[in-house]
A and B are shown apart, each in its own frame.
Chain A
Amino acid sequence: MAQEQAQPAQPHGKVEIANDRSAITALGERVIRVAERAGYSEASRFAVRLALEEAVVNAFKHGHKSVAKHEKVTVEYDVQPDEISIVVTDRGPGFSPDEVPDPTADENLMKTSGRGLLLMRAYMTEVSHNEAGNQIRMRYARPDEG
């Protein structure tokens, strides 16, 4: 949290974030403020905030399942005029994104979890993982709003 307040809202940054709700919210709001200043529409900001939120929550909930509670997640963001990129790295053993069941399949529709990755993929232009599976890289290309 202290790190959050110490850093000014730059267009890019690297934050070590604890599993603390107020810190996660503050980070989301900071990225959105920067995006707003860069002229991104409300729809774009909605998309990026949702994806960022889901990525950080997933990192702690799934990535850090077998990791000490105090361990932090690293979030890098870069808001450029044409695109926004976000990289979230956890300290867990990683996972295989291909093994995540499709939450829109009829048999999974009533499940109460497992939709985060789907939402990130739907809202971001590009989503990829590193080989270890403990880092997600997301890119949002500014849509042609003219």
Chain B
Amino acid sequence: MASEDSRLRVRVEDGITRVEFIDRNILDEANIQAIGEELAKIIDGSGNPKLMISFANVDHLSSAALGQLISVNNRVRSKTGQLRLADISPQIYEVFAITKLNKIFEIHETAADAVGSFR
């Protein structure tokens, strides 16, 4: 699924698309846009997508990355899909809390919890 220059590791299992970031730092706007386009293709390719994004490898992210996540969330919702975020370190979670985006996203402690939460 992932091309050579993919920024994501993608696995589909039991109708759930599990996505991990390859980069430890999600700061660069060009990369963030590429990530958004990859995720858009995944979402558009499914009826009502169930998408789980793991932040297990992520050390840094920027406000531009948060903006892209909101776009992804909107896209998933427009397809009556479900989005879950997981494996977010306390440091990264704080960024979500400061921006109050923890109210927008459904965030789970582990990927397993997130996968189990899909309806």
From the candidates A21, A54, A109, A111, name the one contacting B30 in the complex (CB within 8 A): A21
Whether A110 contacts B98 by the Cβ 8 Å rule is no
User: Is B103 part of the binding interface, using a Cβ–Cβ cutoff of 8 Å?
Assistant: yes
Least CB separation from B98: chain A residue: A122
A residues less than 8 Å from B101 (CB atoms): 109
User: Is A49 part of the binding interface, using a Cβ–Cβ cutoff of 8 Å?
Assistant: yes
Whether B98 contacts A118 by the Cβ 8 Å rule is yes
- Provide the bound-state CA to CA distance between A56 and B68, in Å: 19
Q: Which of B62-119 contact A (CB under 8 A)?
A: 62-64, 66-68, 70-71, 74, 91, 95, 98-101, 103-104
- Provide the bound-state CA to CA distance between A54 and B28, in Å: 11
User: Is B60 part of the binding interface, using a Cβ–Cβ cutoff of 8 Å?
Assistant: yes
Whether B67 contacts A25 by the Cβ 8 Å rule is no
Most buried by A among B25, B71, B74: B25
User: Is B29 part of the binding interface, using a Cβ–Cβ cutoff of 8 Å?
Assistant: yes
- Provide the bound-state CA to CA distance between A54 and B29, in Å: 11
Size bracket, chain A contacts? 20 to 34
From the candidates B67, B103, B104, name the one contacting A115 in the complex (CB within 8 A): B67
Given contacts A46-B60, A113-B63, A115-B67, contact A25 B27 (CB under 8 A): yes
B interface secondary structure, majority: helix
Whether B68 contacts A103 by the Cβ 8 Å rule is no
- Provide the bound-state CA to CA distance between A112 and B101, in Å: 11
Whether B60 contacts A109 by the Cβ 8 Å rule is no
- State how many angstroms separate the Cβ of A82 from the closest Cβ of chain B: 22
User: Is A116 part of the binding interface, using a Cβ–Cβ cutoff of 8 Å?
Assistant: yes
A residues less than 8 Å from B91 (CB atoms): 42-43, 46
Q: Which of B17-59 contact A (CB under 8 A)?
A: 25, 27-30, 59
Whether A112 contacts B70 by the Cβ 8 Å rule is yes
Least CB separation from A117: chain B residue: B63
Given contacts A57-B29, A109-B100, A118-B99, contact A50 B60 (CB under 8 A): yes
List residues of B whose CB falls within 8 A of some A CB.
Answer: 25, 27-30, 59-60, 62-64, 66-68, 70-71, 74, 91, 95, 98-101, 103-104
19 new A-B contacts at CB < 8 Å, known A21-B29, A50-B60, A103-B99? A28-B27, A42-B91, A46-B91, A49-B60, A50-B95, A53-B62, A57-B62, A109-B100, A109-B101, A109-B104, A110-B70, A112-B67, A112-B70, A112-B71, A113-B67, A114-B63, A115-B99, A118-B63, A118-B98
